[in-house]
A and B are shown apart, each in its own frame.
Chain A
Amino acid sequence: MRKNRNVGIVGVGQSVFSSHREEVNQPEMIHEAVVEALQMAGITMADVDCVVHGNMELFEMVHQPDLWHTIGTGAWGKETLRITTGGTTGATLVAAADHLVASGLHDIVLAIGFEKLQEGHTTGGITNMADPLWGRQLQTGALTGMTAAAIIDEFGAERARKAAMTYRILMDKHAMKNEKAHRRLGLEFDQADELAVNSPALVGELRMIHMCSQSDGACAMIFASEETAKQLCPQPAWIRDHITVHREEMFCIFGNAPVLSTHRYAAQKLFARNGITDPLSQIDVFEMYDPSSWWGIDWLREFLMLEGDAHIRMVENHDIAIEGKFPVNPSGGVIASNPIGATAMVRVAEAALQIMGKAGQHQVPKPVNQAMASGFGGTMWTVLFLLTRDIPAMG
């Protein structure tokens, strides 16, 4: 991607994520994240040129929520933009903020992703809008057991189920290190067999324990031009590149013919133009949008362009643990916290915190020079980010 100038992430703020935030209304919850991000960046709202605001449209049944939310976002009197691209909204917000600063339109941009899923009717919205008998080239809803079935087909039931539970428990162990995470269950590996049987079944082999939560929460990030970022922050997280890929239909319209996933396609393009030939060694941490343990496993293979059972072995060997060879989701990931409009932004925000060395208890115990973050949404949308510790070369 050709850039006019570099953009650095200089502030990250997150509200506490929870199944319901009854003590705050929407703008108040957003305000928590905004204040934290401003504090980290060492600026006030007066320094912010533009506010980018996003959530899932109508998930909270508020028309044009950005107007009401001005009370908490600080957007009064500022340029603002509202973005809603489904599950990828959070990552698209980051992409938009990057464009706004890189283009030279603004020096400092605040992006806010939020969701108060407890107040709306998420599944009613995304599942019931599809017409089951009339494809409308539209498949909605995140609850699907197809990936589980495919992994079981390929690797056998026992190995597949065990890998899914290992992935799940590793993510929970990460969430336990993240005080803001929603679901922190304190799972142990010896509970795997029992959970794999006793957790309520959702669809096929997809069980409640595998699935992400519905959360209330907000994330705010502050983006600055290279010059400004250097003044504000000793170590910004630099946006090296990002890519957005989507396809209209969820599955291959020609039936079961092999299909190139948007994840793999995005990774191929992004790696090629950034000289990444060995992602496992060139990327230090990956914050992946993992709506369920099954997708988590499968998508490792896609994003890292792995073949055979390499992705399963990564899970079995705990390579993806925070202290492992290739840490994935030290924050606990989407399985732990899923305020949808914020979720994909939290991936980039957490990757940025790892670069900045500000991830606290869940900072990975090794130098983080390059981090990757992904966003996912229906039907098949992928947004993939590369962040670096060093200022990217202008090309």
Chain B
Amino acid sequence: MDTTYADSFIVEGKLSLPYQYFAGRTGSKFIISLRDSKKILGVRCNTCNKVFVPPRSTCERCFADLTQSWVELKDTGVVTGFTVIRYEEPHQPVKPPYILGMILLDGADTPFPHIVKGVPISQMKTGLRVKAVFAKKTTSTIRDIDHFLVDESQKIEIGYTYDELEIGMAATFTKTITETDVYLFAGISGDFNPMHLNEEFAKKTPFGTRIAHGALPQCLIAPVLGMKMPGLGTVALEITTRFRAPTYFGDTITARAEVVEKIEAKRWVRMALTWTNQHGKLVAEGAALVIPPTPLS
């Protein structure tokens, strides 16, 4: 059946319906406590032992009167669910995009919705601990809690996991090797070879001047593997190095690691390593076998 009809006439209409509602005695006490003492109140049902936030005057489960059993809650809690608001409407409390989380306060049994800040949307997840941030100016609404801020201390960052790593992913670290570095490294390693420390001695060697310990540029791969690729939480199983050229004082060395093999059976990763100087000359090359970080519980 053809349902199109080009001449269809449209009657336009518009309803504008402002409204308001009473919070009632119980709801008002909750708001007043937020406004005047920055305290979040709930009610406990003495029959089923549930703590409701925001407070309500009856427990719908056991029909008990809750208006006399107030409890004060902590301003901390956990996000039990969330959504990201991306569309814009005039009634929204803040400009999108923003995160609306279900916040279960410590000591409460019922989560309630509020704005969550302090975490990138891409990293938002349930289970994050949050703390109420009260508004500087009261509006006598639930927005006297301006938002809930994600607790920084729980943000445990890890590097790329095995599943996230792909062949060809790479990272570098670059540093200029100074005389100070060499002397400190001599102290750390106990290698006081005059090739590194005695200029007059070094003049008589094939290099004609002091050079850095080979292990000094070599160890610049550690910040690559441990902090960048795969990154935080990586365990190195094996590092092999073939030195190709000396590192002179003042040389700027770039250490680079690239994923070349994923060993599925062990969930290990093999990395190709290179060290180059400021002239692009290959100082050393090698390989590493690492265990990438695993998600922490």
The interface bits of chain A over 115-159 (1 if a CB of B lies within 8 angstroms of the residue's CB, else 0) are 010111100110011010010000000000000000000000000
Q: Does A70 contact B (CB under 8 A)?
A: yes
Q: B90 to nearest A CB, angstroms?
A: 15
Q: Does B265 contact A (CB under 8 A)?
A: no
Please tell me the size bucket of the interface on B.
Answer: 20 to 34
Q: Does A71 contact B (CB under 8 A)?
A: yes
What is the CA–CA distance of A61 and B19 in the complex, to the nearest angstrom?
7
Q: Does A27 contact B (CB under 8 A)?
A: yes
What is the CA–CA distance of A7 and B15 in the complex, to the nearest angstrom?
42
Q: Which of B26-63 contact A (CB under 8 A)?
A: 26-27, 56-58, 60-61, 63
Which secondary structure dominates where chain A touches chain B?
loop
Point out the residues of chain A lying under 8 angstroms from B21, CB to CB.
25-26, 60-62, 116, 119
Q: B42 to nearest A CB, angstroms?
A: 14
Point out the residues of chain B lying under 8 angstroms from A44, CB to CB.
63
Q: Does A53 contact B (CB under 8 A)?
A: no
Q: From known contacts A24-B24, A25-B24, A28-B57, infer whether A45 and B18 are also in contact, taking CB-CB under 8 Å.
A: no
Which residue among B16, B21, B61 has the maximum number of chain A CB atoms within 10 Å of its CB? B21
Q: Does B5 contact A (CB under 8 A)?
A: no
Q: Which of B87-102 contact A (CB under 8 A)?
A: none
Q: B61 to nearest A CB, angstroms?
A: 6
Which residue among B19, B27, B56 has the maximum number of chain A CB atoms within 10 Å of its CB? B19
Please tell me the size bucket of the interface on A.
Answer: 20 to 34
The interface bits of chain B over 271-296 (1 if a CB of A lies within 8 angstroms of the residue's CB, else 0) are 00000000000000000000000000
Point out the residues of chain A lying under 8 angstroms from B190, CB to CB.
none
Q: Is the CB of A45 within 8 A of B63?
A: yes
Q: Is the CB of A25 within 8 A of B15?
A: no
Q: Does A318 contact B (CB under 8 A)?
A: no
Q: Is the CB of A74 within 8 A of B63?
A: yes
Binds B, one of A15-23, A245-253, A340-348: A15-23
Point out the residues of chain A lying under 8 angstroms from B24, CB to CB.
22-25, 28
Q: Does A263 contact B (CB under 8 A)?
A: no
- Choose one: B15, B56, B63; the contact of A125 (CB below 8 Å): B15
Q: Is the CB of B22 within 8 A of A25?
A: yes
Q: A70 to nearest B CB, angstroms?
A: 5
The interface bits of chain A over 26-39 (1 if a CB of B lies within 8 angstroms of the residue's CB, else 0) are 11100100000000
Q: Does B17 contact A (CB under 8 A)?
A: yes
Nearest-CB residue, chain B, relative to A125: B17
Point out the residues of chain A lying under 8 angstroms from B11, CB to CB.
131, 134
Q: From known contacts A131-B11, A131-B13, A134-B11, infer whether A121 and B56 are also in contact, taking CB-CB under 8 Å.
A: no
Q: Is the CB of B60 within 8 A of A70?
A: yes
Point out the residues of chain B lying under 8 angstroms from A31, CB to CB.
57-58
Q: A195 to nearest B CB, angstroms?
A: 32
Point out the residues of chain B lying under 8 angstroms from A27, CB to CB.
56-58
Q: Does A189 contact B (CB under 8 A)?
A: no
Q: Which of A352-383 contact B (CB under 8 A)?
A: none
Nearest-CB residue, chain A, relative to B18: A121
Point out the residues of chain B lying under 8 angstroms from A28, CB to CB.
24-26, 57-58
Q: Does B121 contact A (CB under 8 A)?
A: no
Q: Does A72 contact B (CB under 8 A)?
A: yes
Q: Does B169 contact A (CB under 8 A)?
A: no
Q: Is the CB of A20 within 8 A of B22?
A: yes
The 6 sampled A-B contact pairs (Cβ below 8 Å) are: A23-B22, A60-B19, A70-B60, A71-B60, A73-B60, A125-B17
Q: 8 extra interchain contacts, Cβ-Cβ under 8 A, other than A25-B21, A28-B24?
A: A22-B22, A58-B17, A71-B56, A116-B22, A121-B17, A124-B15, A124-B17, A125-B15
Chain B residues within 8 Å of A, Cβ to Cβ: 11, 13, 15-27, 56-58, 60-61, 63
Chain A residues within 8 Å of B, Cβ to Cβ: 20-28, 31, 44-45, 58, 60-62, 70-76, 116, 118-121, 124-125, 128-129, 131, 134
